[in-house]
Amino acid sequence: MAKDKIRVTDLARMKADHAPIAMLTAYDFPFARIFDRAGVDILLVGDSLGMVVQGAESTLPVTMTEVLYHLKLVARAREHALLVGDLPFMSYQVSLEQALRNAGRLIKEGGAEAVKLEGGVVMADTIRRLVEVDIPVMGHIGLTPQSIHRMGGHRVQGRRAGSGPGCRERLLEDAQAVEQAGAFALVLEGIPAELATEITERAAIPTIGIGAGPNCDGQVLVMHDVLGLTDGFRPRFAKPYANLWREATAAATSYIREVRERAFPADEHSFHVKGA
């Protein structure tokens, strides 16, 4: 079902055509191949890997080495989708030079075609500089998981009026700043649907929502939430389309039972000496 290769330049056309953009995270070859062949438009190797792959409590400990490792696995599987690599916490905030070096590594070593970074007005200069050297940037504002300590946890942003951090007017300014700095798309995470609609209507670049209601130009979800590969908490905005946790548990339980009962391996799973 995968069609022609998706490029950064296709996304603007998709917004103009009101063609919704489907984006998923992926962290390894098999799932990236499945999603790519299913026709997803954008694959993101997100720093969410810290939580869903590594079992950490936040995305903050994730390193460049780890993102690069997963990016390379996904890049091998990608044929159709645009591949975006996430810049982890403190890999771009220190200086423009640091941001350039690390964004460049995601493209040059990891095989990404674009990078994503969190932050609005404060990141505008960084986005501008990356775009100047032809590194396409996807912005990310609202509930930015790298800001959990400021936000006091993973909390919906933009519910309150005002121009302080996390307030409605600040988010409108952030969206405008990211667009004016040259980003090609903008992730809106954890904000009221009404605010996401307003940002989407004002923006010339596509918005990709996660917990931001139905009116964004596209949607993104973490693959573990889509596939039901989680044991505990599932965010309200995440719809499971399968229950792979249950399936995998059933498969492992059957395997263990069959080994213990000597029902596996059967003759068809065994090799024999020829002619014996």
Directed axis angle between helix 64-77 and helix 29-38, to 10°?
50
Q: Residue 201 catalytic?
A: no
Of 25 and 102, nearer to ligand KIV (C-beta) is: 25
What is the smallest separation between the CB atom of 43 and ligand KIV, expressed in angstroms? 11
d(CA 14, CA 176): 20
Q: Does 66 bind ligand KIV (CB under 6 A)?
A: no
- With contacts defined by CB under 6 A, how many residues of the chain interact with ligand KIV? 12
Select from 197, 208, 217 the least CA-distant residue to 116: 208
Letter string b/e over residues 172-196, b meaning 16 or more CB atoms within 10 A of that residue's CB: bebbbbbbebbbbbbbbbbbbeebb
Strands 42-45 and 21-25: parallel
Of 150 and 262, nearer to ligand KIV (C-beta) is: 150
What is the smallest separation between the CB atom of 209 and ligand KIV, expressed in angstroms? 9
Q: Is the CA virtual torsion 25, 28, 31, 35 positive or negative?
A: positive
- What residues form DSSP beta bridges with 25? 44
What is the smallest separation between the CB atom of 14 and ligand KIV, expressed in angstroms? 18
Q: How far is CA 193 from CA 11, 29, 31, 156, 216, in A?
A: 21, 33, 30, 11, 9
Q: Does 48 bind ligand KIV (CB under 6 A)?
A: yes
Q: Does 179 bind ligand KIV (CB under 6 A)?
A: no
Of 40-48, 89-97, 249-257, 266-274: span binding ligand KIV (CB under 6 A): 40-48
Task: Indicate which residue of 109, 189, 258, 261 is catalytic.
Answer: 189
- What residues form DSSP beta bridges with 44? 25, 84
Q: Which of 64, 115, 210, 212 is the binder for ligand KIV (CB under 6 A)?
A: 210
Q: Does 200 bind ligand KIV (CB under 6 A)?
A: no
* Residues of span 83-142 touching ligand KIV by CB under 6 A: 86, 140
What is the smallest separation between the CB atom of 158 and ligand KIV, expressed in angstroms? 16
Nearest residue to the partner ligand KIV, using Cβ: 46
Q: Which of 26, 27, 46, 179 is the binder for ligand KIV (CB under 6 A)?
A: 46
Q: Does 25 bind ligand KIV (CB under 6 A)?
A: yes
What is the smallest separation between the CB atom of 257 and ligand KIV, expressed in angstroms? 36
What is the smallest separation between the CB atom of 210 and ligand KIV, expressed in angstroms? 5
The secondary element (H helix, E strand) that includes residue 22 is: strand 21-25
Of 80 and 116, nearer to ligand KIV (C-beta) is: 116
3-state secondary structure of 113: coil
Q: Does 222 bind ligand KIV (CB under 6 A)?
A: yes
Of 44 and 181, nearer to ligand KIV (C-beta) is: 44
Instruction: Write the CB contacts of 45 (distance below 8 Å, at least 6 apart in sequence).
Output: 25, 26, 27, 67, 70, 71, 74, 83, 84, 85, 86, 110, 112
Q: What are 158's two structure tokens? A: 């933009």
Q: Which residues bind ligand KIV (CB under 6 A)?
A: 25, 44, 46-48, 86, 140, 187, 189, 210, 220, 222
Q: Catalytic site residues?
A: 189
